[in-house]
Amino acid sequence: MNRKACIFFLLTILLSGTYEHAEAQFWKKWFGKKEQQHKRKPVQHKKVEPVTKTKPPEKKRREIEYPASRLKSRYRVDVLAALYLDDLVKNDKPVYKDKIPEKALQGMDFYQGIQLAADTLNEKGYDIDVYVHDITDPSQTPEALIKNKTLDSSDLIIGALQSHEIPSVAAFAKKHEINFVSALSPSDGGIKENPYFILMQPTLQAHCEWITKHITQKYRNQNVTLYYRTSASLDDLVYHYLNSDDSSVQYKKILCNNAPDKKQLEKLFDSTRTNVIVMSIMDIGYAEALLKQLYELFPAYHFEVYGMPSWRTMPSLRKPDAYPNVAIDITAPFYFDLSMPADQELDRNYKKEFGGNASELVYRAYETMVWYSYLLRRYGTIFDNKFNDNKEAPFTKFEIKPKRDKEDNLLYNENRHICLFKYQSSSYMVEQ
C-alpha cells in the first residue's frame, strides 16, 4: 500500500507525546338471493363437482441486480470517523499527552485499528489507498464530503458513524453504486431498498431472532419465562421482537414495569429443574436488580437467563458471588480470542505501535478493513455476491445476508454472525 496515501501517524503522536511529520494525505473529519322452493315436484339433485380452491400465485422474490464489477490496479477506501482533531491538536501539537478525552476514544480506537490494518495490507502488497476523514470538522461532515464530491472516486466507504449520520452516506452509496460498510452502530438508520448498505453490527431484532431460534432448539419441551415491561419503549420493542407472530416459543410472561414479588414468581419456577428466563430488559441497572432478586428469593433454585446485548458491560458479571445460582447468556456479534495466533499478532503490533492493550473496537476496525480490502482486491468494486468468501477475515467469520421486510422486500445487507457469552460466578465461556 502506498505510504503517501495510507499511513497516518498523526494520532500515534497523541499517544506517544512526540510529533513526526508524515507524508500521508489526511482528510480531516472522520432494519343472496333466496332459492325458489318447488312444491309437489321432486327435487332433481345435480351432481356438484367439488370446487378446487386455487392458491394465489406466490410472489416471486426479486433478486438483487448488481452492475458488473470493475477490476482495478489500485483501489480507494474512504474511512469516516469522529476523531475530534480540532480539539486534540493545536498549532500542530497534541493538546493531551497523557489521557485522550472520553468523546474521542471511540474514534481513536477505530483509527488505530485502521492504521494497523493498513500496515498489514501494505506488507501483503495490496494496492489500496486509504483516506481518513474526521467528521467532527464542519468542513468534513458526511454531508460536506458528499457536496464537495470528495467521495465520488471512492471504491469503498467504511463508516464508524452514529445512526443519524448513516442515511445520507447510504443514499450516496446507492446512487453511485459504492459499497458502504457501517462498522459501528447497530442502527440501520431506516434504510430500505439499498443493496450497497452493509450493517456489520447486527440489529437488536437480529439478536432477538437468534435467541428465539436458540431457545426453540435447546428447550423445545420446556417452559420458558419472559420478563417484559411496557414502561420503557426500547424494552417494549424487544418484547415484540421476541413475541412476534413468527415466534415458535410459547412463553410464560410476567410484566415487570415494577419488580415482581415472590408470590408472582414462585408460580412460574420449579426447584427440581433449571428455570429458563428471557429478560427483554435493556437497562443494565434494572436488569441487575431482577437478577439479584432471583438469587435472594430463590437461592436453592437454578436459573438460565438470556439477556440483552447491552448487558456485556454489566459490572456484576465480574463478581464471583453476585448470582451464584444464575447462568447469564448474552449474545454478541464479535469475539476476539487472544489464544489464537491472529489475535496475538494484532495484540503484539498494537503494543509495539501504541503501548497498552487494544480495545474491542481496534480489533473490529482492523478486521473490517482487512476483509473488505481482500474482497476488493479479489472481486473488484462489486463483491456483494461473494460475502460467503470469509476465509480471509482475520477473526470473525462474518455472515453477510440480505435483510428483508415482512413482504420479502430487500432492505439492506446485514451481518448475522452472533455468538453467545455464558457468564457464571465471574467466569465465562463463548459458544460460536
Separation of CA 297 from chain center = 35
C-alpha cell recorded at residue 272: 427440581
**CATH number assigned to the domain comprising residue 98:** 3.40.50.2300
Residues 210 and 304 in one domain: yes
Least confident among 7-16, 54-63, 313-322: 7-16
With beta carbons less than 8 A apart as the criterion, state whether 37 and 164 touch.
no
Confidence of residue 356 (pLDDT cuts 50, 70, 90): very high
pLDDT recorded at residue 248: 76
Q: How many domains does the chain have?
A: 2
Least confident among 23-37, 197-211, 388-402: 23-37
List, in order, residues 6 or more apart from 40 with CB less than 8 Å away.
Answer: none
With beta carbons less than 8 A apart as the criterion, state whether 87 and 102 touch.
no
pLDDT recorded at residue 67: 95
With beta carbons less than 8 A apart as the criterion, state whether 397 and 373 touch.
no
Residues 214 and 180 in one domain: no
Residues 104 and 144 in one domain: yes
C-alpha cell recorded at residue 264: 408472582
Residues 101 and 185 in one domain: yes
With beta carbons less than 8 A apart as the criterion, state whether 413 and 403 touch.
yes
Of 315, 332, 349, which residue is a domain's last?
A: 332
DSSP reduced 3-state for 244: coil
Residues 20 and 150 in one domain: yes
Is the pLDDT at 27 greater than 50? The verdict is no
Axis crossing angle, helix 102-123 with helix 341-353, rounded to the nearest 10: 110
Least confident among 97-106, 123-132, 177-186: 97-106
In a domain, 424, yes or no: no
Of 291, 314, 332, which residue is a domain's last?
A: 332
Q: What number is the average pLDDT over the span 382-408?
A: 95
Number of C-beta neighbours around residue 164 at 10 A? 10
**Cα–Cα distance list, 119 to 13, 130, 353, 355, 368 (Å):** 17, 11, 11, 17, 14
In a domain, 381, yes or no: yes
Residues 269 and 186 in one domain: no
In a domain, 430, yes or no: no
DSSP reduced 3-state for 60: coil
Which range of residues forms the domain containing residue 248? 205-332
pTM of the model: 0.84
Residues 281 and 248 in one domain: yes
With beta carbons less than 8 A apart as the criterion, state whether 229 and 257 touch.
yes
Return d(Cα 106, Cα 83) in angstroms, integer.
Answer: 8
Return d(Cα 179, Cα 208) in angstroms, integer.
Answer: 27
Residues 196 and 223 in one domain: no
Residues 167 and 75 in one domain: yes
Residues 302 and 343 in one domain: no
Residues 221 and 317 in one domain: yes
Residues 129 and 14 in one domain: yes
